[in-house]
Amino acid sequence: MRLGIRLLFAFFLINGIAAFFVLRVFMAEIKPSVREVMEDMMVDTANILAELASEDLAAGRLAAGADNSSTSPFAQHVRRYATRPIDAAIWGFSKQSLDYRIYVTDTTGRVLFDSENRAIGADYSQWRDVARTLRGEYGARSTRDVEDDDTSGVMHVAAPIYVKEQIAGVLTVAKPTRTVQRFIDRAERKVFMGGLLLLALSAVVGVAVTLWMVWNVRRLRDYALSVQGPADGERHDPGAPPTTALAVPEVPGELGDLARAMDRMRARLEGRDYIEGYVRALTHELKSPVAAIRGAGELLQDELPAADRAEFATQVVQQSERLQRIIDRLLELSKLEQRHHAEGRAPVALQACAEAAIGQTRARAAQRGIMLALSGTGGNGPWEAELVTMALTNLLDNAIDFAPAGSTVQVELDGATVAVRDSGPGVPDYALPRLGERFFTTARPGGERSGSGLGLAIVKRVMALHGGQMVVRNTGPGLQVALEFPAS
């Protein structure tokens, strides 16, 4: 399972469980909370009415007559309350009826007064509201009019009626719970819809956070893949430089720390295989001149004719010069490989670089009887003049080594491209893709000893720093190496 799917699954699981319990708690608390508020108000109402009814109860005026009605002032006020017209808008709901039922019992629990005339004379002594209040406790109960219908519940709250500091009766206020059910239903709907909205917003945030996390992790993965070595079975040139890695991704927090740690690790580990192959190839390349110098030196220790001594001394000098060239070019290549890009500032003319390279190699070409010719028109670009000149100088040196005496090495300019072409034997087709590898060389004309192969490696690195490419092709006769710089 992919990381993003796992994160989303875990987020939705946790969010869903939390939302379920939170919604369940809120939904479960709405109804009892509303009824608690309702009971609190009924307590105040019952106690106020108990005070108002105390005088009539003490005077015996609350007892019903033959028509089961009471003519006491308290009873008349309560009946007028029940018939009052009402049309009240309460938070979006219309209230058009008054719902209190009020009844009064004596000390034995017999009903003396009932605002609805339903239970006058009935014995309510066993009802919780009356029985507890007569004992001096708080009396309240909730009773259903229909046993199996939860919406038919009626809440009763009682208050004692005091006469001369003694409980002389009980006044009970009753109110159907269905009168507040509309408010409960609306509150539950709002909580439910709010919970769904919160869940949706949480889901959006979860998806956004997951995408952000996965995106940054993938950037780290791509960075790690860009700095790792070749996979099993892939061809890797031991002499080639390490593959240029992606830039260290800029990510915040712990992921940023991880990216920087990976970069430091890459800096320490990068190039181990490269260095190993580099040293192996360099050792192989140095063995031949060192062996030649050692052999010539041992022979020079003996008594030799002057001609032989001069020949061996010349060989020592030539091999020493060869070692010096290898060392110099290795230093140049090492410096180039430590850089990540060219430092071109002002526009540079390719023609000026070509003329400078020709000037540096003209004397060597003349010694071999080779002419150097410049043709075409070069462009200008934000290139590093010193590096471009170095690359062209190496190409000219290579061309001079392979060109036959009396021939001409052509330097051809064409916009952002400069090509060096000789008329030598060229290179076998199989060897063309390998030109530019360190220490890879081909045989020179006449069986002369080949070079180090570092010249074209320097050229290839210079082009990489400029974002260009080196293109090699046989021209029959000869070889052409073109340097294609990016157009400015």
The predicted-structure confidence for 21-54, as pLDDT tens digits, reads as follows: 777 777 677 778 888 888 999 999 999 999 999 9
Average pLDDT over residues 366-381: 88
Nearest to 263 by CA among 317, 214, 223: 223
Q: Is residue 487 part of a domain?
A: yes
Specify the higher pLDDT residue, 377 or 239. Answer: 377
Sorting pLDDT into bands at 50, 70 and 90, what band is 63?
confident
Pick from 165, 185, 205: which residue ends a domain? 185
pLDDT digits (tens, 9 = 90+) for 274-332: 565 556 655 655 665 677 777 777 777 777 787 877 877 887 776 776 677 666 666 66
pLDDT value of residue 333: 62
Dihedrals φ, ψ of 264, to 5°? -65, -40
Q: Is residue 167 part of a domain?
A: yes
Q: Is residue 70 part of a domain?
A: yes
Question: Tokens 């939705």 label which residue?
Answer: 12
The tokens for 398 are 């290579």
Q: Is residue 74 part of a domain?
A: yes
Sorting pLDDT into bands at 50, 70 and 90, what band is 122?
very high
Domain count, the chain: 2
**Single pTM value for the model:** 0.45
Average pLDDT over residues 233-259: 56
Q: Is pLDDT of 249 > 90?
A: no
Average pLDDT, the chain: 79
Pick from 134, 152, 185: which residue ends a domain? 185
Q: Is pLDDT of 227 > 60?
A: no
The CATH number of whichever domain residue 482 belongs to comes to 3.30.565.10
Q: Is residue 112 part of a domain?
A: yes
Q: Is residue 410 part of a domain?
A: yes
pLDDT digits (tens, 9 = 90+) for 464-477: 888 888 998 888 78
Q: How many CB atoms lie within 10 A of CB 162?
A: 15
Average pLDDT over residues 155-180: 93
pLDDT value of residue 112: 93
pLDDT value of residue 105: 95
353-377 CB burial, b ≥16 within 10 A, e <16: bbbbbbeebeeebeeeebebeeebe
Q: Is residue 226 part of a domain?
A: no
Pick from 133, 153, 185: which residue ends a domain? 185
Print the domain residue range for 353: 341-488
Average pLDDT over residues 239-255: 57
Most confident range, picked from 164-173, 236-245, 376-385: 164-173
SS (HEC) of the chain: CCHHHHHHHHHHHHHHHHHHHHHHHHHHHHHHHHHHHHHHHHHHHHHHHHHHHHHHHHCCCCCCCCCCCCCCHHHHHHHHHHCCCCCEEECCEEECCCCCEEEEECCCCEEEEECCCCCCCCECCCCHHHHHHHCCCCCEEEEECCCCCHHHEEEEEEEEEEECCEEEEEEEEEEECHHHHHHHHHHHHHHHHHHHHHHHHHHHHHHHHHHHHHHHHHHHHHHHHHHCCCCCCCCCCCCCCCCCCCCCCCCCHHHHHHHHHHHHHHHHHCCHHHHHHHHHHHHHHHHHHHHHHHHHHHHHCCCCCHHHHHHHHHHHHHHHHHHHHHHHHHHHHHHHHCCCCCCCCCCEEHHHHHHHHHHHHHHHHHHCCCEEEEEEEECEECCCHHHHHHHHHHHHHHHHHHCCCCCEEEEEEEECEEEEECCCCCCCHHHHHHCCCCCCCCCCHHHCCCCCCHHHHHHHHHHHHHCCEEEEEECCCCEEEEEECCCC
Angle between helices 178-227 and 253-269 (to 10 degrees): 10
The tokens for 33 are 């909370």
pLDDT value of residue 326: 64
pLDDT value of residue 453: 66
Q: Is residue 255 part of a domain?
A: no
Report percent pLDDT > 70 for the chain: 76
pLDDT value of residue 332: 66
Of 72-86, 290-304, 436-450, which gets the smallest average pLDDT? 436-450
Of 2-16, 111-125, 128-142, 182-196, which gets the smallest average pLDDT? 2-16
The CATH number of whichever domain residue 89 belongs to comes to 3.30.450.20
pLDDT value of residue 230: 46
pLDDT value of residue 233: 38
pLDDT value of residue 246: 58
pLDDT value of residue 171: 96
Specify the higher pLDDT residue, 242 or 13. Answer: 13
pLDDT value of residue 276: 59
Specify the higher pLDDT residue, 22 or 418. Answer: 418
pLDDT value of residue 487: 74
Report the alpha-carbon distance of residue 355 to residue 96 in Å, rounded.
105
Report the alpha-carbon distance of residue 415 to residue 484 in Å, rounded.
9
Of 171-185, 249-263, 387-401, which gets the smallest average pLDDT? 249-263
